[in-house]
């Protein structure tokens, strides 16, 4: 069935059967789960790195930003460089490079080795995001909104598992062996992707998929800004959450539990926001989720440890669910109908924001308090609400707006 505001596009994947489409989606989802697990698994290491290397909140955010800045800054160059590679080669290469980064992190090279490993891992993840998204979009054409939601949901499964496993292992093992185990997992997944992903190029030679009748770059620009602010809110809150839990008397295992509860809620948020999107549209659902995000962030600051843990899954639903609605709108508003480039630009914005925003929030916390830094993240969520209203004229479907 054709979505309103879109046109079906002939592309190399349009003739694939259901089994091939499922294999393509599964390959993209496995890669996404691992890379998102890598990304958010870093949060479990932050308190240990802060103690070992004597870092402030802002310094810790800078260390973490090495991964995010590399991942975000190389989205567009990586998209252009790898357009001639098959999906199998691109996804396997991305995963192998990211795993190599964690190998470097696990080696006893001190702070400089940690920084170098984070940069290498960021290079790998910069390849995965646009290639995986475009593989799904090319495979399903105009019907890609639902599969893209599944693709994003898979990332949350990685976020819910790897950080929790890392946090549970850290009290039992030193942090370097835990990083080494994460590297081994990446190498296993890279080998599996070689067997699973399609052999031929699943990406058009120019990366273009005509799946939208969006109304110009203005709408896409607003969408990218909203995505950046949404990511800033999420990453800012995650920067402080381990310290908030420790401040309430929680242990490293409690930090792992808290992260798992938040990420499980985030995974549920994909389905919840999909339902909201069907009933409220893009604008209505984003207004609801961002308003609820601000309220629930404030609630976690006012509650003791156990009630706070109860709130975290609810916060995860709205904190992470918005992204599914935003990602699904990218093909509709893609400038020049170049979906591959649009995804690369969008990921550059949201990942760059995810790298820079915690530094800003960290500076705020260093010069005031952790509470003020977390309230700044909540205020960012509220700032999205007028922006999403400005997106209404650019949406091609009445239901979408």
pLDDT in tens, 88-105: 788 888 899 999 999 999
Q: Residue 1: is its pLDDT beyond 60?
A: no
pLDDT of residue 185: 94
pLDDT of residue 237: 92
Q: What is the pLDDT of residues 145-192, one digit of tens each?
A: 678 778 878 887 887 788 888 888 888 888 999 999 999 999 999 998
pLDDT of residue 354: 78
- Taking alpha carbons only, the member of 129, 182, 164 closest to residue 352 is 129
pLDDT of residue 278: 66
Q: Average pLDDT for residues 205-227, to the nearest whole number? A: 63
Q: How confident is the model at residue 396 (pLDDT cuts 50, 70, 90)?
A: low
Q: How confident is the model at residue 16 (pLDDT cuts 50, 70, 90)?
A: low
Percent of the chain with pLDDT over 90: 26
Task: Give 119 or 90, the one with higher predicted confidence.
Answer: 119
Q: What is the pLDDT of residues 252-298, one digit of tens each?
A: 788 878 888 888 888 788 767 767 776 777 888 889 999 999 999 99
Q: Which of 79-83, 119-123, 125-129, 354-358 has the lowest mean pLDDT?
A: 79-83
pLDDT of residue 397: 54
pLDDT of residue 346: 84
Q: How confident is the model at residue 337 (pLDDT cuts 50, 70, 90)?
A: low
Q: What is the pLDDT of residues 19-47, one digit of tens each?
A: 778 888 888 899 999 998 998 888 888 88
pLDDT of residue 197: 61
Read off the pTM. 0.70
Q: Average pLDDT for residues 107-112, to the nearest whole number? A: 89
Q: Which of 61-65, 165-169, 333-337 has the lowest mean pLDDT?
A: 333-337
Q: How confident is the model at residue 394 (pLDDT cuts 50, 70, 90)?
A: confident
Q: Residue 199: is its pLDDT beyond 80?
A: no
Q: How confident is the model at residue 2 (pLDDT cuts 50, 70, 90)?
A: very low
Are the beta carbons of 316 and 264 closer than 8 angstroms? yes
Residues 6+ apart with CB under 8 A from 107: 113, 117, 176
Average pLDDT, the chain: 81
């Amino acid at each position: 069935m054709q979505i309103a505001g879109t046109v079906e596009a002939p592309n190399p994947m349009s003739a694939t059967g259901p089994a091939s489409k499922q294999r393509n989606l599964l390959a993209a989802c496995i890669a996404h789960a691992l890379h998102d697990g890598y990304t958010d698994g870093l949060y479990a290491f932050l308190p240990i790195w802060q103690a070992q290397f004597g870092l402030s909140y802002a310094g810790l955010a800078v260390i973490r930003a090495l991964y995010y800045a590399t991942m975000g800054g190389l989205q567009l160059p990586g998209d252009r460089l790898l357009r001639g590679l098959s999906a199998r080669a691109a996804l396997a290469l991305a995963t192998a490079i990211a795993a190599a980064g964690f190998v470097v992190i696990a080696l006893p090279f001190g702070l400089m080795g940690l920084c170098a490993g984070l940069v290498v891992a960021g290079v790998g993840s910069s390849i995965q995001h646009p290639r995986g998204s475009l593989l799904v979009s090319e495979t399903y054409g105009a019907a890609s909104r639902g599969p893209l939601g599944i693709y994003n949901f898979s990332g949350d499964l990685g976020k819910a598992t790897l950080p929790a496993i890392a946090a549970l292992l850290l009290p039992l093992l030193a942090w370097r062996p835990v990083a080494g185990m994460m590297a081994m997992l990446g190498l296993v997944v890279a080998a599996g992707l070689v067997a699973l992903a399609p052999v031929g190029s699943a990406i058009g030679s120019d990366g273009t998929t005509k799946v939208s009748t969006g109304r110009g770059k203005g709408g896409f620009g607003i969408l990218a800004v909203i995505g950046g602010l949404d990511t800033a809110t999420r990453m800012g809150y995650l920067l402080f959450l381990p310290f908030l839990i420790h401040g309430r008397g929680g242990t490293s295992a409690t930090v792992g539990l808290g992260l798992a509860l938040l990420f499980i809620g985030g995974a549920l948020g994909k389905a919840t926001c999909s339902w909201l999107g069907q009933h409220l549209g893009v604008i209505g659902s984003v207004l609801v989720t961002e308003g609820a995000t601000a309220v629930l962030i404030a609630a976690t600051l006012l509650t003791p440890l156990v009630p706070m843990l109860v709130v975290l899954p609810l916060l995860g639903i709205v904190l992470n669910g918005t992204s599914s609605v935003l990602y699904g709108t990218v093909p509709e508003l893609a400038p020049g109908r170049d979906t591959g480039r649009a995804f690369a630009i969008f990921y550059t914005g949201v990942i760059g924001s995810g790298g820079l925003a915690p530094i800003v929030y960290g500076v705020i916390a260093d010069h005031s308090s952790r509470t003020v830094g977390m309230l700044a993240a909540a205020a960012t969520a509220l700032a999205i609400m007028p922006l999403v209203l400005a997106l209404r004229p650019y949406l091609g479907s009445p239901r979408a707006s």
